[in-house]
Amino acid sequence: MILSDKRPAGKPVATGITSGKPSEWFGVMFSLASAMALHGATESTEVNRLVAAVNNRPITQSEVRNAAAMQVQVLVMQAGRSLPTPELEQKVKEIEKNALQDLIDRELILDSFKKMGATIRPQHVDDAVTRFIKERFGGDHKKFVQELKNSGMTLQQFRQMQEESIIVQAMRAKNADSVPVFATPAEIETFWKENRVLFASPGAVKLRTITVPKLVNGDVSTALSQKSLVEEIHGKLRGGADFGAMARAYSVDSGAEDNGVRGTFKKEELQASLADAAFSVPVQTVSNVIDLGDFYTVIFVDARDDGEVAPLSDPKIEEEVRRRVLQNKRQESVERWLTRLRRDANIRTFE
């Protein structure tokens, strides 16, 4: 349930509540220029800076940014306006760091494949290209060719990219199944106990909020006074002040005129910082001040349903837990293989 905005026109409004389906956020993302632009690739010297070398094969900053582009775009769309700039930048750095490691591992896997003397049949590449055109362009080959042209990529380069993806997937699968794996009853029970949240029905929380802008009409000179204001509001609430009265007096969000009431939400309907607070603070309790980028927010949890954990005695749950345990074991097998490849390779990274 998402309440409509009732604030006067021209007044800033913050919700902290996401809307829309993730599928609406994903466009076709293989334009190299677009991917780089997503998170600020500017100077060509910076974009082409050498960040790593794997057995003398260079990896540039632009490759890292291209690899991280989709994750960065989703991050910005989901939380870009709610995260303080330093925190957002740190998360982007973490995504790029992981993307670099994936690129390094990719080169190691391709080298390992070459050393085996193995090859990929051209028909497999043809099938992969056909699937790509069907899934991304509805089978329209002309649109596909035009996008290749727009991105500056040749068909040969695209086929090579598809062939390398097939190799990486095949090599990972081969090493995931290189040793027999099975899940013991003890391992199944332990995983279920340690990951109970994965097997719980979706919880819900009934919220009230007070939202205060960091700046008044964009005036940076009001930053300190606004921070003092929200701290004063928070202090009064902790001292027993009526939440509804404080919301009516100070809040700028859509629930202000209704004593701060925002409604009942599932966890996935809330931005991460709000969800963390809403599902952790005790019921009938005021949260700490939450930084939402352009706004400060204080929440009051009227009621909460944390959801019920499905029992392990349920055959479907037991089978799902078994599947996850085996998946983890296969991933551990792949990671041990990658560790050996990294150990035996000449890998250099540059700050």
E strand or H helix at 185: helix 185-194
pLDDT of residue 73: 77
Crossing angle of helices 185-194 and 315-344, in 10° steps, is 90
Q: Classify residue 211 as exposed, middle or buried by CB count within 10 Å of its CB (0-12, 13-18, 19+).
A: buried
pLDDT of residue 139: 92
Task: Report the alpha-carbon angle 324-327-333, nearest 5.
Answer: 145
Say how far residue 14 (Cα) sits from the centre of its chain: 21
Could you give the residue ranges of the DSSP H alpha helices within 251-314?
A: 272-278
pLDDT tens, per residue, the chain with 351 residues: 222 233 333 444 444 544 333 323 233 333 333 333 334 434 445 668 999 999 989 999 999 998 888 788 777 766 555 556 777 788 889 999 999 999 999 999 999 999 999 999 999 999 999 999 999 899 999 999 998 888 888 999 999 999 999 999 999 999 988 777 789 999 999 999 998 877 877 789 999 999 999 998 888 888 899 999 999 999 999 988 999 999 999 999 999 999 999 999 988 888 888 888 998 899 999 999 998 888 999 999 999 987 788 899 999 999 999 999 999 999 999 999 999 999 999 999 997
CATH 3.10.50.40 placement within the chain? 202-305
Phi-psi category of 80—alpha, beta or left, where left has phi over 0 and alpha has psi -120 to 50?
alpha
pLDDT of residue 153: 87
The total number of residues shown for the chain amounts to 351
pTM of the model: 0.59
Task: Report the alpha-carbon angle 302-307-308, nearest 5.
Answer: 145
pLDDT of residue 46: 61
Between strands 57-60 and 50-54, the pairing is antiparallel
CATH class of 202-305: alpha beta
> Measured between alpha carbons, how far apart are the two ends of the chain, in Å?
47
Residues whose CB falls within 8 Å of the CB of residue 284, separated by 6 or more in sequence, listed in order: 300, 301, 302
Strand partners, 263: 207
